[in-house]
Amino acid sequence: MTDPIVVVATFRPKPESVADLTAAVQEYVPVAQQDEGNLRYALHEAGEGVLVLIEQWSGQQALEQHGAAPEFTAFTQRVQPLLASPLEVRVLRPVPLGDDAKGAL
């Protein structure tokens, strides 16, 4: 079994694009949640229109399949012109510590 992978994606919209970006992300989240190997795909607001997706995938293969899906490609093409800076994506590998239930996503 592979270790789960956590992805943190941060969207920083142009000031005039906050509503359009929010709508695009809200429409896409339920689609991504249906992808094979998706364990979590949760949207968070960070203030000033900044949106943060916290994702959890069952492993590298699931993450790669998600990234290759036509729905993901269409989504990224839709939001790209709405962003003030490039989409920031961080892929994280868990380092479980302490309590098993609390020490990792």
* Residue ranges of domains in the chain, CATH in brackets: 5-9+17-92 (3.30.70.100)
With a cut of 90, say whether residue 40 has pLDDT above it.
Answer: yes
pLDDT at res. 23: 96
Q: Is the pLDDT of residue 1 over 60?
A: no
Q: How far apart are CA 85 and CA 55, in angstroms?
A: 21
Whether residue 94 is predicted with pLDDT greater than 90 in this model: the reply is: no
pTM score, whole prediction: 0.90
In the block, which residue shows the tokens 């359009």? Answer: 20
Question: Nearest Cα to 85, choosing from 38, 21, 42?
Answer: 21
Residue 70 exposed, middle or buried by CB count within 10 Å (0-12, 13-18, 19+): exposed
Question: Under a CB-based contact definition with an 8 Å cutoff, are residues 72 and 27 in contact?
Answer: no
Average pLDDT over residues 40-56: 96
3-28 per-position pLDDT tens digit: 889 999 999 999 999 999 999 999 99
Average per-residue pLDDT for the chain: 94
